Each structure stands twice: as C-alpha cells, then as structure tokens.
Structure 1
C-alpha cells in the first residue's frame, strides 16, 4: 500500500485525539474500521506508530519521528487547497437534510462574504456520500440514534471527514393547535401508547427508508401505536398532516411548522445535528466559521419559538454545545442592602 494524504490525516487525527476511539468519533468512522486503517498504515511504514493502552495512545519511537512529518504534510495540503479555492473563486456547496431555510443560506453567505455559497437539500446518506466524493464541501446531517450510533460511515478507502456537533435536539410530540394535549407541559415517552389507546389518536409515521424511522422506533417501539393514517418522507409533510388532518407525530423542534403545537417528551430521544466537511477541501478557518454560524442561526430560530427557547434556557446544561449563543443565567442571589447608618458614620 502506498501512503496517501488521507492516511496522514488518519494518523494525525488519532495522535491529536489521544485515542483510537476519540479519533473514530472525530472522523465519523466506526472504531474497528479506523483500527484496521491504522494497522495497514503501520504495515506500510514498517512499524507501529502508537502504543495502545487503556488510557489512550502514545507515539512509539517511529511515531515520534513520523507523526510530526505527517502533520506538516496535512497542514501544507490544507494550505494548497485553500489557495486553490481562493484562486478559482469556486462556490462552497453545503448540503442539508429535510429542508434548507433561505435564512440559513443568507447567514452562511454573510459569514463568508468572499465565497459564493450554494446549498442543496438531500437525505443524510446522500449528503455524507457527496461530501466524501467532493461534490459537497460540507453537510448538515442528523445523527441517527441506532444502538451503534454515529453518522453513516464509509468503507476503509474513503477519505476522513471532519465533524462538529451543532446541537442535540430533543424529540417532541407535534399536535394541532387547540388539541387537548397541547395544554400539557410535557408528556412521558412511556405515556404515548397509553394515551393513544385511550384517546384514539391518529398518527403519521415516517416511511420505511426515512432516517427518522429509527427515532420513532426508539420512542414508540416496534409496533405502531393506534391508527397510522399516512407514512411521510419529510418532517414538513408530517407537520402539514398534523395541522390539516388533526393527527399527531413525533418531530424535532426544527422540523415543526406554524400551525402546530409542540409538547416536550420527557425521557425521550435526542437527535444530534452534525456538521461534516471534507478536511482538505476547505481553508482551515472555514469549518469554524460554518459551525459558529449554524449554531448562531439555530439559536435565532429557537428564539422565534418562545416555548422552545424557554425550554433551552431552563435546560441549558443539555445544550452546552451552543456555548456563547445561549443566554447567560440570571444571578438571583440576594444583594447586600445599602445602609444609610453606615454611610452616615463614614461621613
């Protein structure tokens, strides 16, 4: 096997992350896949690069010589790609799942005034594949909460991807305005089937091949509760059915539409919204700009839905990734009262 740039990125990521498991998480790859890649790379260079232990990895004598050289190779490759992108004036293409709000595209363009921004809506698997192939520079995709977890990965020959968590969205119940459940402050995940059986709720569920199907199965179980009137292929279609047909559905808050009320589901699932990018296709600072812009946009969206923004404020510990975009907690501790007697004494 000949050593390639993608192999250098794998080694550098493992070294920087401090462990194979942390490196796999950062690259969006299954840990066994990354372990197999590292073994092939080590065979190609003629020896082990890291000593594995329960606490992580440390460079071997060979690794101490080669890892800095590989890191310099990755840095120089990034500089070449940044210069090439600037010289070509080509657009930055970003994919989104479900739908792409025009305001999000405008926010990205404002954050990158010297780069033309193009957006595209497609399903998560297609978005990840497009980033791997270079058809997209980055993609905003949900992390499907299957037991194995993780963003859909590729095989061992695919280039490594950068990734950053934007927000961990709760999964809530969507009901029509005025529905009896809309007055609830929350509903337990374990109540949904019982409520359906006693209240005769009608549902819309995701189609078999839609990414949200796995989320519904985790919350509702393998069998469909009550009556399922329709299977949808997008959150927007589901919300239209909730609004117009007096049915209920599960959704993330960003998938809701006007005309629909959201009820928090306690003890439910969360969906990780993740930004992926092809490491050698963007200037070094661009991923940071994208991440910060998308997080700021998400908070602006949440503010437009007071009930959800209030929930975020009350559960800010669960939204730590939004960082500085969250409101600072109000200091409610009592302040010392001003004493006129002490002031007079001082005079």
Structure 2
C-alpha cells in the first residue's frame, strides 16, 4: 500500500480525538474500520503509532513524528485547494469566449457579433467540419458556442448542457459551366438535372450527401456522382468542364467560369443552427447575438445578385419563416 490523503486524515483524527471510537464518529466510519485501517498503516510504516489503553490512545514517539508531518501536509493540501479554486475562479472570469463552427459566413458573423457584445473579452475560434466533433467540444466545455448545419432527416444530437436555436434555412443552388445549356436560366427544376454528372463533397456525418441522393430519388432519378472533393477550386474546375455541383448562395471562393442557378421549390437546403452551453457567459446574450448574425447575413444577401433576386422573389419567407 501507499500512504495517501485519507490515511493522514485518519491519523490526525485519532490523535485529536484521543479514542478510536470518537475518531470513527468524526470520520463517519465504524470503529472496526478505523481499527483495521490503523493496523494497516502501522504495518506499512513498520511500527506502532499509538499506545492503546482503557482510556484511549496516545501517540508513540514514532507516531508523534508522523502526525506532526501529517498535519503539515494536510495544511499544505488545504492551501493548494484554496489557491486552485481562486485560480479557477479568476480564469473563469477572464477566460476567452471560445467559438466553433462549420466554415461558413455565419461563423465569422458570430465571431464579429461576440466581439461587439463582449469588447473586453478575448474571442478565440476554430472551424470544424465534423458535426460530432463540434458537439463533443461543446459538451466538454472546450467551446462555448458554435454554428452547426442540420440537414433534413439528420437531427443534431446535443449533450444535456447544450441547447440550440435555428438561425435560418439556407437554400442550396447548383453551379454549371458558363457554356452549359442551362447556364442562362434564372431558375430550373431539379428534374432537368437527371442526366447530369455531379461533383459532391466527401461524405461526412452531416448527412448532406445522403440528403441529396434521397431528394433526387424522390424526384424520379438517381444522382450520378462522378467526383468527390472537398477542394472548392477543384470542384469548380470540374463543374466548368461540364459537371454540376451544389453551391451555397454565399461563398468564400471566387466562382469564375460558373453560373449559379436556384432550383424551383428549393429541394436542397440546410438549416443553420446556433448551439451554446447553458452555463456559458454568452447564454443570456443569445437573442442579441442571433439578431446580429441575421442582420449581418442579410447584408451579405444584398451583395450577392443571384441570392438577392431569389430572396426578393419570396425566398425570404423560406429562409426566415
């Protein structure tokens, strides 16, 4: 065995109580348990620590030295605990707000909104594509808030300490090359793509690829996926060469050589969700943050001609019911 904190507490309790019975009561143990533990400690040390008598116990010379050191260790441990708690409180008071999310415009809009709402706090962020990883980081406390995507038939499973609220529903358009026969159309039906080959991202745990495949099947055709890539430059080059790719209405990468086309009825879409820890500093400000993110998003819509036209044709009621 090895001496640990509980053993030192027991020895000091016996010395201060003067009897094994009173020490057992203070430690909420039975007297036989205290007696057994004391015998094990004495056997480990190699000599008796207390002299027993009908009136109680008194430390031996060996025991007195052990108890003196035990008291010092317990005091130092108590001070360690106190300092650790103070440091934890101070760290919580000045800890940065930690943001995570999918690489989308809503992510940096949220980071910006948090910077405005908490000007005296450091904001740290990380983009993570995996839904499972984001929810794990939220559940463990590594993140305070995150932007996630949710596709139909693939609900988010969040830890008990995390809640969610939908920001908006975002349509997913399609991209074709400028010389494609559909390139000059302002809107097309999904069925018109039945004979096309597709560029899709690598399948992940969001359910996007499965969702696309199911929607195409519901519309009477099998989606023919010829290319899988997470590199937008490669995806756009393949699309310019004749394939079809999904396009979010607002993108980061330039889309030279592509035409962006909305789909009638908006068969492809994703819900963008804000998820946060209920014990986070930002929890009371969620309503304000959601409003700021939505306002920033609306400004981006106005700067994107195809999306702005879709929005004005009634898309706003789809995105923000």
1:145 to 2:167 alignment:
no
The counterpart of 1:209, out of the listed 204, 209, 214, is 204
CA contact (8 A) 2:114 2:289 kept: yes
User: How far apart are residue 300 of structure 1 and its match?
Assistant: 2.0
RMSD: 3.0
**Aligned 1:61-210 pairs, distance under 5 A:** 88-99=93-104, 104=109, 105-122=111-128, 123-146=130-153, 149-151=154-156, 153-154=157-158, 158-193=159-194, 196=195, 201-209=196-204
TM-superposed CA distance for 1:311, in Å, is 1.3
Uncovered stretches (5+) of structure 1, i.e. residues with no partner:
1-83, 322-347
Conserved in 1, the CA contact under 8 Å of 2:213 and 2:223?
no
Work out which of the residue numbers 252, 258, 264 in structure 2 matches 1:266.
264
Size of the aligned set, in residue pairs, is 225
Deviation of 1:96 (Å):
1.5
Asked if the contact 1:189/1:219 (under 8 Å) is kept, the reply is no
Q: Distance in 2 between matches of 1:125 and 1:320?
A: 26
Q: CA deviation at 1:307?
A: 1.6
Counterpart Cα distance in 2 of 1:172 and 1:165: 20
Q: Please, what TM-score do these two structures have when normalized by structure 2?
A: 0.61
Deviation at residue 215 of structure 1 after TM alignment: 2.6
The Cα offsets for residues 314-337 of structure 1, whole Å up to 9 and x where unpaired, read as 21222335xxxxxxxxxxxxxxxx
Q: For the structure 1 residues 221 and 85, does the alpha-carbon distance in structure 2 shift closer, same or farther, using more than 3 Å as the test?
A: farther
Give the TM-score normalised by structure 1: 0.57
Matched, 1:276 2:283: no
3-state SS, counterpart of residue 124 of structure 2: strand
Could you say which structure has the larger radius of gyration?
A: 2
The whole-number CA distance in structure 1 between the counterparts of 2:298 and 2:174 is 20
- What is the Cα deviation at residue 255 of structure 1? 4.4
Deviation for aligned residue 1:139? 0.9
Structure 2: distance between partners of 1:186 and 1:91: 45
Give the secondary-structure state (helix, strand or coil) at the position aligned to 2:271.
strand
| Alpha-carbon separation, structure 2, partners of 1:192 and 1:91 | 47
Change (3 A) 1:276 1:188: same
1:171 is displaced (CA, Å) by: 2.0
Whole-Å Cα distance in 1 between the matches of residues 127 and 185 of structure 2? 34
Q: Which residue of 1 aligns with 2:78?
A: none
Is structure 2 residue 295 aligned with structure 1 residue 296? yes
